[in-house]
């Protein structure tokens, strides 16, 4: 499943970059995140509660950041598994100056398997889009608190 898009955050690029690399800030902004812990440079252990339709469960996994070019772009690899199945993929994030803030462009290629994949591509795409919107809304709120 391919996911791509862009969101504008009304904060300077350096602040957005720092927030996107801070495990505490990310844990507060990620929907369903029950824990995000740094386990090494650019590596995190994550625990998330996710529901798609009637299928709900907790995923545990790892996120690894690489190809960092501060404060412009980075890539991440993610993998997780739990009762409802597994998810793994790779994503790219690019930050650029936008009118009054920062534009965050993203593209990801994600594979989903197990029970959660049985809900269908369209529903997974819709849930992914909703979670991204929640993440960017919450990240904007968090960054506004710090001003």
Q: Domains (ranges, CATH) in the chain? A: 2-145 (3.30.530.20)
Position 147 confidence tier, pLDDT thresholds 50, 70, 90: low
More confident residue, 116 or 73: 73
End-to-end CA distance of the chain: 37
> Which regions of 10-134 does DSSP assign to beta strands (E)?
33-40, 43-52, 55-69, 73-82, 85-98, 101-113
Mean per-residue pLDDT for 26-30?
92
Q: What is the pLDDT of residue 135?
A: 93
More confident residue, 73 or 50: 73
Pairing verdict, β 101-113 and 43-52? unpaired
Whether the per-residue pLDDT at 129 is higher than 90: the answer is no
Half-sphere exposure of 18 (CA within 13 A, CB side): 8
Mean per-residue pLDDT for 49-77?
91
Mean pLDDT of the chain: 91
Q: What is the pLDDT of residue 96?
A: 98
80-124 pLDDT, tens digit each: 999 889 989 999 999 999 998 999 999 999 898 998 888 877 788
């Amino acid at each position: 499943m391919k996911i791509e898009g862009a969101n504008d955050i009304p904060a300077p690029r350096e602040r957005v970059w720092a927030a996107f690399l801070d495990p505490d800030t990310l844990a507060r902004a990620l929907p369903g995140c029950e824990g995000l812990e740094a386990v090494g440079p650019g590596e995190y252990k994550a625990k998330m509660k996710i529901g798609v339709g009637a299928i709900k469960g907790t995923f545990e996994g790892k996120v690894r950041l690489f190809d960092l070019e501060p404060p412009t772009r980075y890539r991440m690899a993610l993998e997780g598994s739990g009762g409802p199945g597994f998810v793994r993929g790779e994503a790219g994030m690019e930050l650029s100056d936008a009118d009054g803030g920062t534009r965050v462009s993203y593209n990801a290629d994600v594979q989903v398997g197990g029970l959660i994949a049985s809900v269908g591509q369209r529903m997974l795409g819709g849930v992914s889009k909703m979670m991204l919107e929640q993440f960017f809304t919450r990240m904007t709120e968090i960054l506004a608190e710090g001003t």
